[in-house]
Amino acid sequence: MKILVTGANGYIGTGVVKALLQLKQDVIATDFIVDGIDTRSKTIAGDIFGLEKPFEYFEEPDVVLHLAWRNGFVHNSDTHLEDLPNHYKFLSKMAESGVKKIVALGSMHEIGFWEGRIREDTPCNPMSLYGISKNALREALELVCKQKNTMFQWIRGYYIVGNSEKGASIFSKITAAEKEGKTEFPFTTGRNQYDFIDYDEFCKQIANVIINNEVLGIINCCSGIPESLASRVERFIKDNNYKIKLNYGAFPDRPYDSLAVWGDNSKIQKILEQNEGK
């Protein structure tokens, strides 16, 4: 398939492009800057929101994987709501022009406060501008894709560990602090349990979602296993031979984070099994 990847030079995009190329897919990768993208793909630098006919501009791809999103680690940035109409317009133009499938990256933050396993049909009550915007885009795209008979997959991401040189996750911040020579890192209580997944596995899961047209709708890309934040961060520090220590309790836990939340990974496991059998 010919797959257009937006936000291809971002934290997740660079890894997903590599994973798709490993699966022998034809990748067109676009972002504002493209110098960090695997050169085996065709790269196109520019602003996707300014295009009148994006389907034609990007050589009529079979699939668009929409990863483009700014300030994803700043959950209450106004840019989430400001950019929402542009994301919708771009993807609706792709659907109207005849793209066969739209795949977009969502987030477990669409759910809001929740205790326990998150299923695809778990009710959404987002508690941040990031979660509100992602949830609104998902609902709008479901309608558009249904009207245009376009296949639709919504990848719900959780907590990613790895590629810590990029991004702004807690793992990236710890890596930066270690390189700056800091001996302590301000931390929460670390008691909350989340669904952590290694970066390479997450990118592999996304790539496998894209090449599978049998399992559609919301798909949790995750490990399916809860682990405490303290345990996972301490393990990250040990695995990377960092000397930095955590200063527990320096920051309060976020009010919209539950004590334990993780994803139901049954659909992604089904996809991986189906793909391996082909």
Our answer to whether residue 194 is catalytic in this structure is no
Whether the CB-CB separation of 229 and 192 falls below 8 Å is answered with: yes
Q: What is residue 248's predicted lDDT score, i.e. its pLDDT?
A: 96
Q: What is residue 190's predicted lDDT score, i.e. its pLDDT?
A: 95
* Segment 136-173, tens digit of pLDDT: 999 999 999 999 999 999 999 999 999 888 878 899 99
Considering 11, 57, 130, 242, which one is annotated as catalytic?
130
* Segment 46-79, tens digit of pLDDT: 999 999 999 999 999 999 999 999 999 899 999 9
Domains and CATH numbers, the chain: 2-160+196-224+262-276 (3.40.50.720), 161-193+226-247 (no CATH)
Beta strands in 191-277 (DSSP E): 193-198, 217-221, 226-228, 245-247, 261-263
pLDDT classification of 16: cutoffs 50, 70, 90: very high
> Parallel, antiparallel, or unpaired: how do β-strands 151-157 and 217-221 relate?
parallel
Residue 258, pLDDT > 90, answer no
Q: State the greatest distance between any 2 C-alpha atoms of the chain, in Å, as a whole number.
A: 56
Q: What is the mean pLDDT of residues 86-115?
A: 97
Q: Of 173, 156, 152, give the one whose Cα is nearest residue 73.
A: 173
What average pLDDT is seen over the chain? 96
**Count of Cβ atoms closer than 10 Å to residue 163 Cβ:** 20
Residue 276, pLDDT > 90, answer no
pLDDT classification of 241: cutoffs 50, 70, 90: very high
Whether the CB-CB separation of 231 and 194 falls below 8 Å is answered with: no
Q: What is residue 168's predicted lDDT score, i.e. its pLDDT?
A: 82
pTM of the entire predicted model: 0.94
Q: What is residue 204's predicted lDDT score, i.e. its pLDDT?
A: 98
* Segment 205-235, tens digit of pLDDT: 999 999 999 999 999 999 999 999 999 999 9
